[in-house]
Every structure is written in C-alpha cells, then in structure tokens.
Amino acid sequence: MPRMTYLEAARRALAEEMRRDPDVWAVGEDLGRGGVFGQYRGLIEEFGPERVIDAPISENAILGSSVGAAMTGARPVVEMRFADFALCAIDELVNQAAKARYMFGGQIRVPLVVREPVGLWKSAAAQHSQSLEAWYVHIPGLVVVMPATPADNAGLLKAAIRCDDPVVYMEHKDLWGLEGEVPEEIEPIPLGTARLARAGRDLTLVTWSAAVHTALDAAAQLAGEGVDAEVLDLRTLWPWDREAVFASVARTRRVLIVHEAVRVGGFGAEIAATLAEELGDRLAAPPRRLGAPRIPVPYSPPLEQEVRIPADRIAEAARALLRA
C-alpha cells in the first residue's frame, strides 16, 4: 500500500468523493490557496472556484448557508479552520442542522460534514487548542468522528461525506504530518466501528484521535514490564462501538480511558459510567480515566506540557489499575 500523511490521505479522499458525486463541494476561508494547513491544496485547480469556495470571514454565514444547501440536496464539506472558530456558528450546527431531520419528521436530511481541526499544537494557546468532542456527542442528531491514522482519515472522511446526517469531523492538528499506509482503493469505513490498535490481555486502554499513539507508546512501555495492554481506538465517538468496548473490557476486566480533552465532563466519563453500570461485578477494578486538567491551554511550552497526557502518565495509571 502507498504511504502518505494524515493530511494527504484526507485530501485524496475528498478529491475522490468530489469526482464521484457532483453534489459534493467544499467551502471555507482560504480554501483557494489550499487551506490553512494545506489540506485543500490543488483542489481548486481541478474542480474550480464553484466547488472549492473561498468564503468571507464569517463562520456563521459559512455554516448557515451550507446547512441550507444540504437541506436542498447538496453535500457540502465545511472547513472551520479550528474547532475553536466553529463556536461562532454553534447555533447553525446545534439548533438547525442537528434538529432538522427530527423536527420535519424525516422529510429532510442534512448531509453535511463540518471539519474542525482540534487539539494541542505547538503553543497554539487557549483559543486554538481545544478538544470539544464531548459537547457535540451531547447533541442528538450529530455524528462525531475523530480519526487517528492516515488510513482512517481517508476511509472515515468518505463515510462522513456519504452520511445523510450532519457529521462533526474532528482532525487532530498534531497528526497532519503523520505518515502511514493507505489502501490503493480507499473504501468508506463504517461509522460507529472501533479499531483494535493493539491486542492484549491484562487491561484495555480505550482512546481516540492523537491519544491513540500515546497509548500505544504506553503499551510498549508496559510490555517491557510483562504487562500486555490492549489499545482500542474508538474512531467514532457517536455512535460509539459499545460492542467492541464491552467485548474487550469483559475479557481484560480492567479499563483505562484516555483523552486529550478536559477530564471534567469528558466523553471518557460516559464510557466509564456505562461500563460500571452494565459490567459491574465482572470488572476486577472500577473503570478509570485520564484527561486534561480543567484549565485554559497555556501558551508557554513547559506549561502546555503539564496539560498533555504523556505515555509515562498513562503507563503509571495502568500500573495503579493493575494493583487495584
């Protein structure tokens, strides 16, 4: 299989979907010059300014017009540049796109993809570093996707574009340059299916997005101590793959949920509570979770490091779980 970056894989998937379906188009700020990270580079040359649309600096106008277009049959891919900026258009997404299918009795759908780059990235500070996936998971009507690998960023983006419901598609900024194998023929990856990143027998690490790679590093550390940790990459947070999580945790009987987002109110709490309620006494220890402290992300690199969840900390939490 060819190797490409996380960014290149998504760009290729989008181009293929635009060739396949003339109703697919992209809109956002600076797309004509390739997007702020280069994820649209070359697309305007192939598809023209009618399908790769440079929009004015108004997130609510960009998303509001796209919601209307999706309601009439188009399949827009909306670039928000940063997840933080998407908050300017939260009404259009949460009160309009997410609710339209229900409020109109299924007569219309909103096949919309909202790309929101997320996460800690090179001293981007408090207004450009947030991971807000738990907000969107809380909203009925939204699908929430967070790919961790180049292959998944290609296959999941294709699935998101073909989905008939609005998808919040959250790509981690620190993964843009990550290289990996991508199939020659990219097929959509079914939404709501987890990926077994590493098999193990002693405990399960449930995670998503960039934290998957940190969890794999922690699992490698633990393997040197004779601990066999399983790493499960959710890929889609809503719907989440309960069957895969439950099967893994029922077998290992211990689970640590890891996410970069703030721990308080994070999606890890939902997973932990569900496992505690439904597996109960079958667990060898209560579910545990790791997340960021409830503070704004600092600009200072040493302070930013205190917000991160490094592999050493995951390994330490896993050891404590095994002792419990």
Residue 293 Cα distances to 76, 264, 270, 321, angstroms:
35, 8, 17, 20
Rounded CA separation 212/178 (Å): 13
128 is catalytic: yes
Residue 311 Cα distances to 218, 258, 316, angstroms:
5, 10, 9
Helix boundaries (H) for 87-236: 90, 98-103, 133-137, 150-162, 211-223
Of 128, 172, 213, 259, which one is the catalytic site residue?
Answer: 128
Sign, CA torsion 315/316/319/324:
negative
Contact 166, 141 (CB under 8 A): yes
Classify burial at 161, counting beta carbons within 10 Å of its beta carbon; exposed 0-12, middle 13-18, buried 19 or more: buried
> Active-site residue numbers?
128
